[in-house]
Chains A and B, each alone.
Chain A
């Protein structure tokens, strides 16, 4: 379908369920990989590729919820669709709060499953793009000297060159030079763009009222 390179990871302790779900997803062109337990998945799955996880809630050994916790603890935020035999509300709320994309009850209709998979893959693509963007900002940040980094933080916080110079105890001209280097190294064409890049990696910008003050 829309994302041929994505892999759907099916984790279910029931062999027939695993096989039939994989076949159903294969029938519309998805690539699948099936795992018989949470432990099997943790040991053998490929964390780099795009895709989502279709996870059985009640499994012997590590349960679906525990696997979800395990994955988010190791920094894997691949979208998860839960499949469960009984639509228990408390469990589904817990799963959704922990970041599950969807919660489907068995037996699942193909349209519901495909819709959930599409949604999960879209989220995965968006998250991967966001991660790449953040990663590239971090790479650019790493090229700044400590002084340039300081200047950038002040500029992003909405301070004028003169204010930055006063704060750092240097000449305004030097701040201007640093600022130009920051803009070049961060590949930002405008202050607005620099603020946006800083926001991606959590560098605090000034709130709008402070910016207003600076303009006057």
Chain B
């Protein structure tokens, strides 16, 4: 009968343990205050982690967008560079033809040299802009990349 009672109790309260002396004690501490504090801490922790993650995701997205913009700008500069290069090549080749004609048209040659100088300067300024946007892009790429050793 006593054995029967004990098994019933064990089934109802699985955390209940009994010392040899017959004192009963629970293997789980009284849940109410400790559990509340612990779950509260856990929830706060999760919320903080989520907020942090969202913030870093947003800033990463922003950086990525800025990086794409910088790349597009660099592409435009590369494209833009074609204009002075075209003008320089055409002017130089026109100059070669004018030189082989008799009499040499000095006025044309003077204009050609003037324009080649201008277009060269223009190409150089586009290259400077290209360098700046590439540097900017590299800086952003470095700030979005995960730190060493995290992978």
Residues of chain A having any CB pair with chain B under 8 Å: 14, 16-17, 19-21, 23-24, 26-28, 58, 83, 85-86, 106-110
Contacts and interface: CB of A to CB of B under 8 A. Distances in A.
Contacts, number: 72
B90 A108 contact: yes
Q: Is the interface of B mostly helix, strand, loop or mixed?
A: helix
B93 A16 contact: no
Contacts of B88: 20, 107
Interface string B73-105: 000000100111111111101100110010000
Given A20-B94, A107-B90, 6 more contacts: A14-B83, A16-B115, A20-B87, A21-B90, A106-B82, A106-B85
Contacts of B52: none
Given A85-B79, A86-B79, A107-B82, A16 B119 contact: yes
Contact of B89 (A28, A86, A108): A108
B26 interface: no
A17 B86 contact: yes
Contacts of A26: 94
Contact of B87 (A16, A28, A86, A109): A16
Contacts of B98: 27
Contact of B83 (A16, A27, A86): A16
B115 A24 contact: no
Nearest to A85: B82
B94 A24 contact: yes
B113 to A, nearest CB: 12
